[in-house]
Amino acid sequence: MKHIDLKQIVCDKSYIGKTVDVCGWVRTSRDSKNVAFAELNDGSMLEHVQVVFDKAVFANADELSAMLSLGAALAVTGKVERGMKNESVEILAEKATLLGGSDSTYPLQKKRHTMEFLRTIPHLRVRTNTFNAVFRVRSELSYAIHKFFHENGYYYVHSPIITGSDCEGAGEVFKVTTIGYDPSVKSEDEYNKKDFFGRPAGLTVSGQLEGEVMATALGKIYTFGPTFRAENSNTPRHAAEFWQIEPEVAFADIDDIIGIATDMIKSIIAHLLEHCAAELKFFDERFEPGLIKKLQHVVDSEFARIDYKDAIEVLKKSGKTFVYPVEWGLDLQTEHERYLTDEYFKKPVFVVNYPRAIKSFYMKQNPDGVTVAATDLLVPGVGEIIGCSEREADYDKLLAEIKSRGMKLSDYANYLDLRKFGTVPHSGFGLGLERMMMYVTGMSNIRDTVEFPRTKDELR
C-alpha cells in the first residue's frame, strides 16, 4: 500500500503543507459538532498523530462513526499541518478508508488497564502505549547487543535448540519426545530407544557447551537465542522460555570476561539512551521514577565487585532479617541479592568466587579447591542478570568433576575432547534478555518484557 510512516512526518518538518498517505490504528477519538478527531498510531513511534475530520467533507455520519471506533484500522490521505501542541503535527483528512472496523467489545477502551488484565490479552496488549514501547525497546536492545559484538570482532553462532545434555545440570530440561503413553513399554531404556532420537533429548537450557566448541576455533563468539527451563518457581523473574546472549571467548580469564561484560552492559545502555529516548522517558514517568538517571549512572560509573565470602559477611552484618539463611556455602537468594544491590552498593555488582558445590560442573576450580572462578552480575531492582565464569580447561579436573556429580560421561565426551586437543583458558557468560529488559524499562514482572510469556501453568 502506498503510505509513509507517521514517524517520518513527525520527525521531518518539511512534510508540513504537503499531502500524504498514512495508515494506522485509532487509539483515541473525539467527536464534536463540526469536526471529529482520531489519534492514529502505526507502530513507527510512541507518539500518535491526530487526524482531523471536517464534517463538511465527511458527510456520511455512519462512515465517520465507524472510523472513530477505538481499534479500527484506517488509511488516510490528507494535508500535514502544524498541530496545537509544540512541535506536533496533525493531518487534515481529505480522504479516508476504513481498512478494518472495530466495535465496543474491543478490550482496550479508554480507561487505563492493569498489567494483569493486559497479560490476558497478549494478542492485543502490544497496541497499548506501554507495550508498544516495551517491544520497541526490546528490538533496539537486541540490535545494540548484536552491534556491540559485531563491532568487537565476535562471530554470531547458532547453537542447537534440541540437545542431549543438561548444560547447567540443574535438572530443569524440558523433554523432547514424539511418543505418548504406551503401556507396552517396559523400561525407561526401551522407551528412549523407541523415541525419535533413540536417546533422551531436551530443549536447551543454554548454548554454552556448543559455544565453547565454536570459541575454541573461532576465538570470540556469541550466541543469541531462546533457552528453556522447566523451573517450577512462579516468580516475577523466571520464565520457562527466555532469550540468552552467551559470548564465549578463548584466551580469556575471569578478569577479562568481567571486563567484557561491563563494556557490553555500558555499551547497550548508552545505545538505548540515545535511540530510545522517548520510550525511556515514558517508562521513567509511568513505571520507574529516576530510570534515566539510573541508566546514565550505569554508563558513567564503575561497577562494584565483591568476593562471595565478603558478600556473606556484609549480609550477616546487615542487621536484616532474611527469610533464607545466610551462610558460607549457601546460594544467594533474591532477597540477599536485592540487599546487596538495592541497599548496600546501589549499583551493579559482580559477586565473585562462589563455592564450587553450588555452581555448575564446568567452572574453573580456584587453587583453594573450594571455590570456582565464577561471578554473577547483580543489578538493583532485578538481581542476577548475568551468570559468568572462566571454564575448567584442565582435562583431569573436568573429568573428575563430571564423574563426582554422577553425570553421564558419554554426554560430555566431545566437551572433554576440547580439553584434550589444544585446550586454552577461556571464559564466557550468559545475559538473560528479559532480565535486562526489566532493568532498562522498569517492568517489575518478566511477563511484561516478552511478547508471549511462557511460565508455570501459563501458555496463551
Subset of residues 350 to 389 that bind Mg ion, contact rule: CB under 5 A: 387
Could you tell me which of 386, 459, 442 has the C-alpha nearest to residue 236?
442
Q: Are 371 and 353 in contact (CB under 8 A)?
A: yes
Q: Could you tell me the smallest distance in angstroms from the CB atom of residue 247 to ligand 4AD?
A: 8
Taking CB under 6 A as the rule, does residue 231 contact ligand 4AD? yes
How many CB atoms within 10 Å of residue 199? 12
Taking CB under 6 A as the rule, does residue 242 contact ligand 4AD? yes
Taking CB under 6 A as the rule, does residue 40 contact ligand 4AD? no
Q: Please, which residue, 43 or 122, has the CB nearer to ligand 4AD?
A: 122
Taking CB under 6 A as the rule, does residue 348 contact ligand 4AD? no
- The residue range among 43-51, 234-242, 333-341, 350-358 that interacts with ligand 4AD, by the rule CB under 6 A, is 234-242
Which position among 24, 78, 380, 387 is part of the footprint of ligand 4AD (CB under 6 A)? 387
Taking CB positions, which residue lies at the least distance from Mg ion?
A: 387
Q: Are 328 and 302 in contact (CB under 8 A)?
A: no
H/E stretch holding 36: strand 35-41
Q: State the DSSP code for 311.
A: H
Q: Could you tell me the smallest distance in angstroms from the CB atom of residue 446 to ligand 4AD?
A: 6
Could you tell me which of 25, 140, 12 has the C-alpha nearest to residue 75?
25
User: Cell numbers 547447567 correspond to what residue?
Assistant: 168
Rounded to whole angstroms, the Cα distance separating 438 from 430 reads 16
Q: Are 235 and 334 in contact (CB under 8 A)?
A: yes
Q: Could you tell me the smallest distance in angstroms from the CB atom of residue 384 to Mg ion?
A: 6
Identity of residue 279: E
Subset of residues 259 to 278 that bind ligand 4AD, contact rule: CB under 6 A: none
Subset of residues 166 to 185 that bind ligand 4AD, contact rule: CB under 6 A: 167-168
Angle between helices 277-286 and 129-151 (to 10 degrees): 130
Rounded to whole angstroms, the Cα distance separating 123 from 19 reads 33
Which residues have CB under 8 Å from 87's CB, separation 6+? none
H/E stretch holding 279: helix 277-286
Q: Are 332 and 375 in contact (CB under 8 A)?
A: no
Taking CB positions, which residue lies at the least distance from ligand 4AD?
A: 387
| Size, binding site for ligand 4AD by CB under 6 A | 24
- The residue range among 74-82, 265-273, 323-331, 431-439 that interacts with ligand 4AD, by the rule CB under 6 A, is 431-439
Q: Please, which residue, 64 or 446, has the CB nearer to ligand 4AD?
A: 446
Angle between helices 433-441 and 254-275 (to 10 degrees): 50
Taking CB under 5 A as the rule, does residue 428 contact Mg ion? no
Q: Are 411 and 203 in contact (CB under 8 A)?
A: no
Q: Sketch the per residue contact string, 382 through 421, with Mg ion: x for CB under 5 A, - otherwise.
A: -----x----------------------------------
Q: Could you tell me the smallest distance in angstroms from the CB atom of residue 368 to ligand 4AD?
A: 21
From the list ligand 4AD, Mg ion, none, partner contacted by residue 430 (C-beta under 5 to 8 A by kind): ligand 4AD
Residue ranges that bind ligand 4AD, judged by CB under 6 A? 167-168, 206, 208, 229, 231, 238-239, 242, 244, 246, 384-389, 428-430, 432, 434-435, 446
Residue ranges that bind Mg ion, judged by CB under 5 A? 387
